[in-house]
Amino acid sequence: MNQSYILFEAYSQVVELRQYTLHPGQRDVLIELFEREFVESQEATGIRVIGQFRDLDNPDRFVWLRGFADMPARARALQAFYGGPVWQAHRDTANPTMVDSDNVLQLCPAYAVSGFQIERRPRAPVGESGDGPGLVVATLYHFDAAVDEDFLAFFADELVPVLEKCGAAVSAALVNDATPNNFPALPVREGEHVFAWFARFADVQAFDRHRAALDALPAWRERLQPALLRRLSRPPETLRLAPTLRSRLHG
């Protein structure tokens, strides 16, 4: 393992993938507030703020990831943050930027060790402007039933080597966590069967080259892609995510 990275498994046995639909023109307003007020204040309660992103394909969507040690820790941390002084002071500024904040997947590692690897470096200071480096791509696979061992083996043994050969740096593989939501004030999507994997790229052009390399590979076109699509209940969902300046997860 590259020693410049540290596994966050100890903190992210539960991961929320949160996709917010915002009012037009409000994304940068929310990001500025989030990066200034909601990063360190959440982490002070035991939450790990893994990454914050602009969705490149939807100018009114803000996407972010946060992790918890386990479900009891999640309940305690969310109660502490949302009942605490920082959220109470700024919620009336944050909430009006949002049309919908309920598009949330509750996830857990798909394998014994498949959580995020976060570069060992400090965040940019509060108040700095600009964007984070690279591109993060989240790919969501939807199923009619719970993700089974057959698919997990197929992904790890057959898909990952080909994806990485074609330039994807696979960062994490997660599945939906069916544990009941223990903080019902914040809804999560329930009754869904999802496998989510995340990859890092240097930039959008590197991701485009990855897609082109996959499409040019006979093994992908003729065997692996058809075998993948047969397993899914609908086409894969791809999120191209540009990290914010203070995102720990980046390309």
State the pLDDT at residue 128: 85
Mean pLDDT, rounded, for 41-66 = 97
Mean pLDDT over all residues of the chain?
Answer: 93
Q: pLDDT tens digits, residue range 151-193?
A: 999 999 999 999 999 999 999 999 999 999 999 999 999 999 9
Higher pLDDT, 247 or 121: 247
Q: pLDDT tens digits, residue range 189-213?
A: 999 999 999 999 999 999 999 999 9
State the pLDDT at residue 2: 34
Determine contact, residues 70/14, Cβ cutoff 8 Å.
Answer: yes
Q: pLDDT tens digits, residue range 8-19?
A: 434 489 999 999
Crossing angle of the two packed helices 27-37 and 85-94, in degrees rounded to 10: 170
State the pLDDT at residue 251: 86
- Number of residues written out for the chain: 251
Contacts of 100 (CB under 8 A, 6+ apart): 20, 21
Read off the amino acid at residue 221.
R
pLDDT at residue 240 tops 90: yes
Mean pLDDT, rounded, for 222-240 = 98
Contacts of 241 (CB under 8 A, 6+ apart): 51, 53, 54, 55, 56, 63, 135, 136, 137, 138
pLDDT at residue 144 tops 70: yes
Alpha-carbon span 198 to 213, nearest angstrom: 18
According to CATH, what is the number of the domain 5-119+131-243? Answer: 3.30.70.100
Mean pLDDT, rounded, for 65-76 = 96
Alpha-carbon span 173 to 156, nearest angstrom: 9
CA-derived radius of gyration, the chain: 18
Q: Go through 181-204 and write b for each residue having 16 or more CB atoms within 10 A of its CB, e for each that does not.
A: beeeeeebeeeebbbbbbbbbeee
Specify the DSSP element, H or E, that contains 198: strand 193-201
Q: Go through 89-121 and write b for each residue having 16 or more CB atoms within 10 A of its CB, e for each that does not.
A: ebeeebeebbeebeebbbbbbbeeebbbbbeee
